[in-house]
């Protein structure tokens, strides 16, 4: 089905089968506009099993009764309709690669027909597992629907494929908003002691200059850490590379090192799975139990300004003083980050891949410098 100026329709489909022996009971599909994600047409049919003895043991399945199947067509009677719907089209569904696609092939083989072939396959199960993460649970369609508080639907083909489409829309919207407004939707910093390692995972974010970027998630949001009283070990340092970086080194607590080491393992594996081949640099310097923090920066012509929010805290007067954004080369920065000084740091974990070196960078969103 072609839509004027909007490309070829996507066929979302689903099969209903018995649990143990996977006897096909129903086929359902909807045609979806790829640009507007609206349903254009639909088709569904019950399918009577060819084994005459099937009805003797069948007691019902998801609202499908013995009487429903008694009047339903056999698969050979609807095979041409299903073939015309599927062949040479874009297929979409939830877990269809491992379940529905092989079963379609088996059904056509049993009647001596060549099975329909897809032009492209969109399986939302691995797709959402990789990009949306397991924030919703086990990634079953019913679990995802419950996560978004959809009303419970009959577990039949057409309701399932329509729910599949709505789940994709909602997941896509969440991912879009998180990418555009990360500081609004994901503004929670947590201490290393609050991090649950089993709830931490890595997902692909995007590709930049051909290199994979990875997001580090904790539960359902990007992992962002808050550490108090980090001791500055090495003063501010400027890197005159393409990224124009200002960094400084702080001592890291044992728990911070443990969390970052686990993140290193997760992200490096995901990075390699996505095709990354640069040398991986550990985020923690174990020789000194330290980490390097980087200031955010923005470019204004040939001038670079820092974007990290920096405040001075005067211990004697218990007052805060905001350090306004100034030139990237300002000597004022050197006076702020003196070895031995303490800083409260609120930072994000961002992956980098530059000049065949890759790793996790700790980017400071906010710093509070403690002065006597």
Domains annotated for the chain, with CATH where assigned, are 10-181 (3.30.420.10), 197-370 (2.40.50)
**171-209 pLDDT tens trace:** 999 888 877 766 555 557 889 999 999 999 988 875 444
What pLDDT shows up at residue 117? 97
**C-alpha–C-alpha distance, residues 190 and 221, integer Å:** 11
What pLDDT shows up at residue 224? 92
What pLDDT shows up at residue 210? 52
* Nearest of 26, 36, 11, 1 to residue 161 by alpha carbon: 11
What length is written for the chain? 372
Q: Cα angle vertex 162, ends 161, 164, to 5°? A: 60
How sure is the predictor about 257, in pLDDT bands with cuts at 50, 70 and 90? very high
Q: What is the pTM of this model?
A: 0.58
Phi, psi dihedral angles at 57 (to 5 degrees): -110, -10
How sure is the predictor about 19, in pLDDT bands with cuts at 50, 70 and 90? confident
What pLDDT shows up at residue 363? 92
**211-228 pLDDT tens trace:** 667 889 888 788 999 999
**C-alpha–C-alpha distance, residues 292 and 281, integer Å:** 12
CB 150 within 8 A of CB 163: yes
DSSP 186: S
Q: What percent of the chain has pLDDT over 90?
A: 51
**104-127 pLDDT tens trace:** 999 999 999 999 999 999 999 999
What is the layout of strands, in order, in the sheet containing 211-218? 200-208, 211-218, 221-222
**29-53 pLDDT tens trace:** 999 999 999 999 999 999 999 887 7
Phi, psi dihedral angles at 39 (to 5 degrees): -75, 130
Q: What percent of the chain has pLDDT over 70?
A: 84
What pLDDT shows up at residue 234? 83
**C-alpha–C-alpha distance, residues 348 and 151, integer Å:** 36
Whether pLDDT at 73 is above 70: yes
Residues forming the active site: 155
**281-319 pLDDT tens trace:** 999 999 999 999 998 876 666 666 677 888 877 666 566
SS3 195: coil
How sure is the predictor about 320, in pLDDT bands with cuts at 50, 70 and 90? low
């Amino acid at each position: 089905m072609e839509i004027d100026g909007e490309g070829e329709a996507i066929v979302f489909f689903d099969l209903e089968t018995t649990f143990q022996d996977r006897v096909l009971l129903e086929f359902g599909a909807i045609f979806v506009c790829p640009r507007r994600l609206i349903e254009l047409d639909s088709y569904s049919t019950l399918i009577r099993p060819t084994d005459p003895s099937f009805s003797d043991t069948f007691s019902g399945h998801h609202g499908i009764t013995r009487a429903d199947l008694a009047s339903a067509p056999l698969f050979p009677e609807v095979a041409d309709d299903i073939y015309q719907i599927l062949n040479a089209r874009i297929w979409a569904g939830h877990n269809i690669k491992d379940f529905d696609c092989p079963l379609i092939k088996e059904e056509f083989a049993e009647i001596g027909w060549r099975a329909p072939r897809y032009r492209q396959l969109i399986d939302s199960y691995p797709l959402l597992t990789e990009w949306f993460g397991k924030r919703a649970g086990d990634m079953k369609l019913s679990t995802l629907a419950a996560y978004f508080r959809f009303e419970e639907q009959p577990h039949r083909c057409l309701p399932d494929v329509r729910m599949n489409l709505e789940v994709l829309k909602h997941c896509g919207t969440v991912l879009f908003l998180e990418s555009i407004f990360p500081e609004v939707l994901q503004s929670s910093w947590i201490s290393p002691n609050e991090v649950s390692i089993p709830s931490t995972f890595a997902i692909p974010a995007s590709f930049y200059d051909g290199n994979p970027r990875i997001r580090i998630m904790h539960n359902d949001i990007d992992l962002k850490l808050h550490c108090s009283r980090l001791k500055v070990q090495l003063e501010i340092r400027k890197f005159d590379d393409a990224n124009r970086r200002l960094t400084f080194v702080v001592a890291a607590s044992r728990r911070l090192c443990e969390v970052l080491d686990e993140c290193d393992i997760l992200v490096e594996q995901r990075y390699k799975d996505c095709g990354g081949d640069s040398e991986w640099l550990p985020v923690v310097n174990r020789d000194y139990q330290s980490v390097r923090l980087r200031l955010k920066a923005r470019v204004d012509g040939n001038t670079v300004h820092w974007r990290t929010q920096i405040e001075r805290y005067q211990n004697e007067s218990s007052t805060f003083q905001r350090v306004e954004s100034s030139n990237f080369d300002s000597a004022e920065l050197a006076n702020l980050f003196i070895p031995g000084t303490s800083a409260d740091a609120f930072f994000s974990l961002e992956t980098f891949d530059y000049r065949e070196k890759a790793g996790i960078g700790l980017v400071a969103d906010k710093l509070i410098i403690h002065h006597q």
